[in-house]
Each structure stands twice: as structure tokens, then as C-alpha cells.
Amino acid sequence: MSEKPKLALYWASSCGGCEIAVLGLHEKILNVAEAFDIVFWPCVMDFKYADVEAMDDDSIDVCLFNGAIRNDENARLAHLLRRKSKVMVAFGSCASGGSMPGLANFTDRDAMFDWIYHKSPTTDNPDGIVPMKHTDVPEGDLELPGFWHTVKTLAQVVPVDYFLPGCPPEASSIEMAVNAILTGQLPPPGSVIGPDVTVCDECPREKHEKKIKRFYRPYEIIPDPDTCLLEQGLFCAGIATRSGCGARCPQVGMGCRGCYGPNEGVVDHGAKILTGIASVLDAQTPEEVDAILDTLPDPAGYFYRFHLPDSLLRRRARANGEKIVAPASEAAGEPA
């Protein structure tokens, strides 16, 4: 039996949806299993980090790494797998752009811990216990991975060869990437594997000149089935989001959330959504602009939902304007 290429999959700071998406290949997962020798996939099989550490450098052919980097463990595995892998793929929106975990960059670690462990209405923590990096127990020292101030993308921590966007990536996108890897027909390193047009290109809805008087939440209106959702006042990031998903959301009346990230060449996804939307507001005065934007709750969340950590903003300063000073290891993207 000839040696099969070795495949690793890892799940850092993410929801697990990317893992499901791989399984969502259905019977084609068998082709993957047949084509590759899966050497590391902690979500579905039992591997230990020590197993990976024991491998030779560059011995893994492809690593599909999903999830953002937000603690020392994520970073440790990112560095480890990078060292062991020939091709590193940032798999899914969290690894590519930070995605949902990355929205934590709108706040900071202390404020977040304060909310989660003390203030949130569902918290019952009379002793005020918070997770510590080190905890002394009679059996010895218990260690948790250090929690970072700032969520980073995989590429901000280690060099990444390819990006496969999507929350999660569609089966067709995964298939395309896997085939490209298997046949060696890969774009230049650093590329996003996917088309270089936006969701509008695949969306069958009719587009007209746009003038938006107000935004609606999806429950507020029943949109016309044939007309562009944005024109009808439903927030849709499809104008600024890379296609490849088949425009699935807008086709069923739900505006694009933007999970495939910015189009080719764009550095700041949120800024592009923002300028696109701002360009078509039907307003003559600043007051009218404010009134229209008041109908769009949480604009920062809408615009930067998938790409805050790799935007030009990256994160906000502390609410009191203080600069957040991260430890040197975190600033360097290394585990402590």
C-alpha cells in the first residue's frame, strides 16, 4: 500500500460547526478517509498532543485548522501543527478572520470575566470564584491555559498557506479545497480558496438602484421573494462578501451575514459593508442618517461579525480609553 498523504484537523476557539461541516460531506467523508491518512482529529478520535509532538517536522501533509486563537492552548497547538505540517489551512471563519469569538475584541478580558463570573443575571457565584491560570489543590498545581486579552486569527499567530472561509465552509467549498490539495492545483500560497466575486453574483434576486429609508429586522416584514433584500431594508452583507456559498441565505429570505468574509483584495470587511450600506442610505441630512441607522441595532456587530480581529481596527481600547497591554508572549502570538 502506497503511503497516503497525512491529514490533521484541529479545533481551536470555535463552536464546533466546522467539524460538523467536515462530517457534512456525508458519504464523501469516506473519500477523504480513503485519500488521506488522518493522523490527528481530536474531535472524533482519541489523540494526545504528545502524539503530535512526537511526529517529525513537516510530516503532516495538510492541516485543516479551525477556530480563532484566544488562549495559550490555541496558540500552542497552532505553533505545533504549523511546525509539523507542510500545508496549513485556516479552515472556516474563526481561523480566517476571528469570527464570533473575535467579537470579544469589542470588550476586554477583565470586563468579560466580570460580566460572565459576577454580573450576568444568570450567574450564581456567591464565592466570587474566577478561573485562575494556576490553582493549588492538595494533589498539586492545576493549570488552565492563559486567557488572552485579544482574539487573534490563525494567520496573526503562524504563517498560513490557504484560507477556506465560511461559517462553516459549505461542503462544496471543502470539496473544492480537498480536490485542489489532492490534485496539487493550488493557487499561490496566502490565497483564499474561492471565487473572487461577491454573493450578489450568485444571488438570483433582482437588483435595482438602491435607496434605503429604514432597516427592518427579519421578523418585521415578509420580503418580496424576487427583489434584493437590501433594497427592501433587510441587512444583507452579500454586497461585500465573497461568494462560494451559493447565496444560500438570501435565497431563503435571510440577509447574508458575511461569513465568507471580504472579497479578494479587501483588507477590512466591516469597512466595506459599512461604505456599501452608507452609500445607499436615502438621507439628505446627518439627522436623517442617524434616524436610519437607529433602525439597525448593533451596527458594529453587523459589520464586523466575522472579521474584527483581522480588520484595520483589530480591537477597541478599554472603555475608559486605557490602552490594553498584553504580555509579551501574547503580543508575539506565542503561548506563555
Partner 1 sequence: MSEQEKRVGVYVCHCGHNIAGTVDVEHVAEWSQHLPNVVISRDNKFMCASTGQEQIEEDIKEFGLTHVVVASCSPHMHEKTFRNACARAGMNPYLFEMANIREHASWVHPNDRDGATNKAKALVSAAVHRVIHHEPLEPMQVKIRPETLVVGGGIAGIQAALEIADAGYHVYLVEREPSIGGHMAMFDKTFPTLDCSACILTPKMFDAGAHPNITLLTYSEVEKVDGYVGNFTVRVRKRARMVDEDLCTGCGSCWDKCPIKVVDDVFEAGMGYRKAIYRPFPQAVPKYPVIDVENCTYFKTGKCRMCEKVCPTEAIRFDMEDQYVDLEVGNVILATGYKLFDCRRIPNYGYGRLENVFSSLEFERLTNAAGPTEGKVVLRDGETVPESVAIIHCVGSRDKNYNEHCSAICCMSSLKFAHLVMEKTGAQVYNFYIDMRPISKGYEEFYHRILSEGTTFIRGKVSEITDAAHAPDEEGKLIVVAEDTLIGKQRRVPVDMVILAAGLEPRADSQAVGYMFGVGCGDTGFFTERHPKLDPVATATEGVFIAGACQGAKDIPDSVAQGAAAAARVLGTISRREVALEPVRASIDESRCSGCRICNNMCPYNAIDFIEAEGVSRVNPALCKGCGTCVAACPSQVITGAHFTFDQLMAEIDGILVDVTGEMPLVTEVI
Q: Which is nearer to partner 1, 20 or 331 (CB)?
A: 331
Q: Which is nearer to partner 1, 85 or 150 (CB)?
A: 150
- CA 130 vs. chain centroid, Å, equals 27
Rounded CA gap, 64 and 123, in Å? 36
The contacts of residue 217 (CB under 8 Å, 6+ apart) are 297
Length of the chain in terms of residues written: 336
Q: Which spans of this chain sit near partner 1 (rule: CB under 8 A)?
A: 196-201, 207-211, 228, 238-240, 243, 262-267, 272-273, 275-276, 279-280, 331
Q: Which is nearer to partner 1, 26 or 323 (CB)?
A: 323
Strand pairing partners for 262? 241
**Phi/psi of residue 306, each to 5°?**
-110, -10
Q: Which is nearer to partner 1, 97 or 262 (CB)?
A: 262
- Please report which helix (H) or strand (E) contains residue 8, including its range: strand 6-11
Rounded CA gap, 311 and 315, in Å? 8
> Measured from the CB of residue 78, what is the shortest distance to partner 1 in angstroms?
18
H helix intervals, 115-207: 171-183, 199-202
> Measured from the CB of residue 277, what is the shortest distance to partner 1 in angstroms?
8
> Measured from the CB of residue 213, what is the shortest distance to partner 1 in angstroms?
14
> Measured from the CB of residue 302, what is the shortest distance to partner 1 in angstroms?
14
Q: Which is nearer to partner 1, 26 or 208 (CB)?
A: 208
Q: Which is nearer to partner 1, 249 or 273 (CB)?
A: 273
> Measured from the CB of residue 209, what is the shortest distance to partner 1 in angstroms?
5
- CA 35 vs. chain centroid, Å, equals 27
Rounded CA gap, 7 and 44, in Å? 13
> Measured from the CB of residue 239, what is the shortest distance to partner 1 in angstroms?
4
Question: Cis (ω within 30 of 0) for the bond into 168?
Answer: yes
